[in-house]
Amino acid sequence: MTALEKLPEIEKPLLGEILVQRKVITPEQLKEALEIQKKEKQFLGEILVKLGYIEERDIVVALIIQYNLPYIAITKYDIDKEILQLVSAEIAREFHLIPLDRVGNVLSVVMADPLNMTVRKKLEEMTQCKVATFIATETEIDEAVARWYGPGKQK
């Protein structure tokens, strides 16, 4: 066993704990949302937004803290048309993502759910690139998709 294998795994704080610590929600609101989550099998963040306790941006900030994800303000970027052609508008809309740039064989993609390994793998197969992910809110990404790919049906 190597020294690295002996290191204890560092636990990441839970999304709800981060939101309570940052005083975005109260412990009571978290408890209510967790009860709903047990019954409805939805993401905690989605439930908190539906209840009106938080906004999308609060979830993104908590995920940045929880997973050390890099955030990109996608609305401030100009995207090359060649990069956009690497990912279809349908895929961009369905998975709330947009390609941003490519350097060599690394494609930078902004996603509402950058932890979704299935989508990342699908993108890598489609583009023949390694995918580097960034996070932004679903609304920011959907606005960028509409701007760059044109209006279309949103899921």
* Per-residue model confidence as pLDDT tens digits over 67-124: 888 999 898 889 999 999 999 999 999 999 999 999 999 999 999 999 999 999 999 9
> What's the farthest any 2 CA atoms get from each other in the chain?
55
8 A C-beta contact, residue 120 and residue 133: yes
Which one of 25, 42, 67 terminates a domain? 67
CA distance 140 to 138: 6
81/145 same-domain check: yes
Task: Please report the beta strands in the chain, taking only residues with DSSP state E, as ranges in sequence order.
Answer: 97-103, 106-111, 130-135
Q: How many domains does the chain have?
A: 2
Question: In this structure, are 38 and 80 located in the same domain?
Answer: no
- 140 assigned to some structural domain: yes
Q: pLDDT per residue over 69-79, tens digit each?
A: 899 989 888 99
Do β-strands 106-111 and 130-135 pair in parallel, antiparallel, or remain unpaired? parallel
- Give me the domain span that covers residue 17: 12-67
Tokens of 49: 């937004």
Cut 0.85: pTM above it: no
Tell me, what's the pLDDT at 10? 58
Domain harbouring 136, CATH code: 3.30.300.160
> Tell me: the pLDDT tens digits for 2-17?
343 444 555 778 899 9
Closest CA to 113 of 61, 51, 63: 63
Q: Same domain, yes or no, for 144 and 103?
A: yes
> Are residues 58 and 41 both part of a single domain?
yes
Is residue 154 a part of any domain in this protein? no
